Every structure is written in C-alpha cells, then in structure tokens.
Amino acid sequence: MTSRDNLQQTLNHIQPDRLVVDFGGTAVTGVHCLAVKNLRSLYGLEERPIKIVEPFQMLGEVDEELVEKMGIDVVGAYGKNNMFGIPNSECEWKLYTTNWGQEILVPEDFNTSQDIDGSTLIYPGGDTSLPPNARLPKAGYFFDAIIRQEPIDEEKLDPADNLEEFEPISDSTLDYWERTVRKQASLGKGVIASLGGTALGDIALVPGMQLKNPKGIRDVAEWYMSTILRPDYVHAIFEKQTDLAISNFAKIYSRIGNQIDAVFICGTDFGTQVSTFCSPDEFKELYLPYYRKINDWMHQNTGWKSFKHSCGAVENFMPLFIEAGFDIINPVQINAKGMDPGHLKNTYGKDLVFWGGGVDTQKMLSFGTPAEVKKQVLENCEIFAKDGGFVFNTVHNIQANVPVENLGAMMAAIGEFNG
C-alpha cells in the first residue's frame, strides 16, 4: 500500500498496513528550521540552508530527502502568501542569517530591520515603509505579532473591517492551487491542504499581520472580550466569512477535485493547560453553526476530511467537535488536564482521527532522556493506532532546541512500532 492508501484507511478508521507519519504537512505539525537542520545531520544528509515554509513560527521545509529518510506519509499544500503577506511559494529565494546564527533561505520580499533592543522587525508584504507587523526577540526563535489596533469607536465599528483579508478567490490563485496540488499529489503521499479563509477567530490571525493598515478589532485581548461583549459583531464576521469560504472551496474543488485528502479548516484554540477559554454553551452559540456549515458542505460535495486544531484541555469539547462535523483533531495535547490518551481513544476514537499526541513536546521531547522519549512514543502509538484513526505527529510543532538524540529516539520508536 502507498502512503496515501495508508492515510486514507487511517482517516476512515481502518487499520492501515503501518503507522502513518506527518512532519511538515501543516503550520501546526511542522518542524522549526533549526530542528530540520539537526535532523538532516542526524540522517547524514548534506548540510545546506533550510528553506522557510512558514516564517511566523520559522518552520523549515521537510524536503524530499528527509521525507524519505523519516518515512513521512503526508505532504502539505501551503498557500501562495505567508502570514506576513509575503509571497512564500513560486518566488525567488535569498540567503538570510538568523539571530541564532543559522543560514536559511527566505522569500525575496522577506525584509527586516533591527530594533534598538536587538530584536528583528518584519513588515507587511515586506514593505519597510509601513509600521512593522511582527518582532523576533533577540534571544527568540520565532516571531510575535505586533498589535496595530486603532482606537475603537463603538459607534463606527463595522464587521467589514475584520473581513478585509477575506475575499473571493482570484483566477490566479485558483491556478496556483491547481499547480501546487497536482505537484504534491504526484509524490504518492497523502496531501493535506491549508486553503485558508475558514479560521474563525484564530488568535494568530486576528492581528491581520498581512494587512498594511488593519482595521476593526485587531488586539488579542480585545477580540477575546468581544466574543462576550460584542457577539453580534462576531456573528456578522463569521457568517460572511463562512459563506465566502464555501464559495471559494467550491471553485477550488472544481479545479483540484479529490487530489487532496484533508483540509486544515481552523486553528482557533479553545484550551489552556487546565481548562477551556469559553463554555460549551458559548461554543454552541458562537462557533458551532459556522463550523457545521463548512463541514457539511465539504462532506456533501467533496471527499475531503476536515482538520481542526485546538491546543489545551479540550476533552469536554470533543463531543462538540464531533457535532460540528470535524473528522480530525490536532495536536492532541496529552499533557493538558483530562487529555489522557487511553480515555480519548476509547471515548472518541470511533468518531475522531487523532493527528498528533505521539509525544509531549513541552516536557518530554525537550527535556526527557532518549529512553523516556522512546517509551512514551511506543506507549502512545500502542494506544492511538489501534483500529486506525491515528496520524503520528508530536504535540504541535517540533521546537528549535530539541536535543537531536531525542529526535533520534522518537524516530527509532516509530520505526520499531512499524516493524
């Protein structure tokens, strides 16, 4: 069976020939560029600058050499522009040296400057004549959004301002998706696409980093408060965004059909380490109708599976994710309260595919011993992989300074589990 065959069986809760593995398929199942460099070294591959596929988190490309070495079964189809509004595909690339001394490849419009405190500033669309939209701290490994919230006048608040980044898909973008998906599908792997436009309230996107002058509610704290204080405003945004997304999906599907297996629908987090950001009732009122509308359209008109990302202690939201029509949950934060692997699999494993949860990244992968890492990986695979419904990935992205010995132990455990 091919990698894609195994993924499709996994997504349909059928035991595959072997455990399906994803590293790099999405912006929440990726690998920091420094860790990619270390993985190449681990596998004895030639050292070379790592191409950045998602610069906000400084995720590196897991190229075809690593895909084969690591036994990866899933590849991603990323959008034309990155979160900074800079073309990040089908563009020219240039060398860039990071603040930690790594030489990488970035898009030609990746233009930065140094702040007085030594941090790195980047700009919307790479236009340095505009105020910066994100900052990479001097001792950091990824960017933080810079909030550019204008003063709020309650009398003039217009939901259209928070919809500026959502628009009908252009013919040139449709052409891009057709080329990109065809290329990725030709690799014989499963394909997950990040088509965009469906991230209802994803806090990473609220600041509008790609916009020159974001209007509306763009402050993170203000957005969270608005879900309580201005629900009509948020409903108006979600309703328009949902209808537009479905219209765009229909046009994309007419071009690419079922060459992709899953779509990254939403990265809105609902959990902290110990609880959820909102109540189940608020989720049902504010989010569920729109998720359901998107997922119903997908299931009725395509063969795509629906991928939902939410960090944190969201065990009590699992029935709601199922009701909303999601097929896949990620990152399966097993170290958060109530997120016990055995309980999750036994209770929700017939309805949800767990894409992640293979090893804890907060503590185990970064600070455990190789033996401890291998033990946890094998235990979690034994639980989650039974009867299909599990794609191996870590709990969120692999971070920069994970010891290479631990990465090796993780991959050795996957290899052992797969025989």
Where residue 362 sits, what CATH number does that domain have?
3.20.20.210
Residue 379: phi and psi, rounded to 5, are -65, -45
Task: Answer yes or no: is 132 within a domain.
Answer: no
User: Tens digit of pLDDT for each residue in 242-282?
Assistant: 999 999 999 999 999 999 999 999 999 999 999 999 999 99
Task: Answer yes or no: is 114 within a domain.
Answer: no
The count of structural domains within the chain is 1
User: Tens digit of pLDDT for each residue in 142-186?
Assistant: 999 999 999 999 999 999 999 999 999 999 999 999 999 999 999
Check residue 272 and give its pLDDT: 96
176 and 248 Cβ atoms separated by less than 8 Å: no
User: Tens digit of pLDDT for each residue in 38-62?
Assistant: 999 999 999 999 999 999 999 999 9
User: Tens digit of pLDDT for each residue in 310-354?
Assistant: 999 999 999 999 999 999 999 999 999 999 999 999 999 999 999
Domain that holds residue 262: 3-47+62-85+150-417
Percent of the chain topping pLDDT 70:
100
Check residue 19 and give its pLDDT: 98
Task: Answer yes or no: is 250 within a domain.
Answer: yes
Task: Answer yes or no: is 28 within a domain.
Answer: yes
Provide the CB-side half-sphere exposure for 300 (13 A, CA).
8
pTM confidence score: 0.97
Check residue 3 and give its pLDDT: 97
User: Tens digit of pLDDT for each residue in 145-155?
Assistant: 999 999 999 99
Check residue 5 and give its pLDDT: 98
Q: Which alpha helices (DSSP H) does 73-230 contain, by range?
A: 171-185, 220-229
Tokens 């550019």 found at: 148
Task: Answer yes or no: is 140 within a domain.
Answer: no
Q: Quick one: pLDDT band at residue 138, thresholds 50, 70, 90?
A: very high
d(CA 222, CA 260): 36
Q: What is the DSSP string of 291-325?
A: HHHHHHHHHHH-SPEEEEE--SS-GGGHHHHHHTT
Task: Answer yes or no: is 105 within a domain.
Answer: no
Task: Answer yes or no: is 98 within a domain.
Answer: no
Check residue 343 and give its pLDDT: 98
User: Tens digit of pLDDT for each residue in 345-379?
Assistant: 999 999 999 999 999 999 999 999 999 999 999 99
- Cα torsion for 47, 52, 54, 56, to the nearest 10°? 100
Check residue 145 and give its pLDDT: 98
Check residue 133 and give its pLDDT: 98
* Average pLDDT of span 120-126: 98
* 360 exposure class (CB count in 10 Å sphere: 0-12, 13-18, 19+): buried
DSSP 160: G
Check residue 67 and give its pLDDT: 97
Tokens 């933080």 found at: 144
User: Tens digit of pLDDT for each residue in 73-103?
Assistant: 999 999 999 999 999 999 999 999 999 999 9
Check residue 274 and give its pLDDT: 97
User: Tens digit of pLDDT for each residue in 7-22?
Assistant: 999 999 999 999 999 9
* Average pLDDT of span 395-419: 97
d(CA 289, CA 11): 24
Task: Answer yes or no: is 106 within a domain.
Answer: no
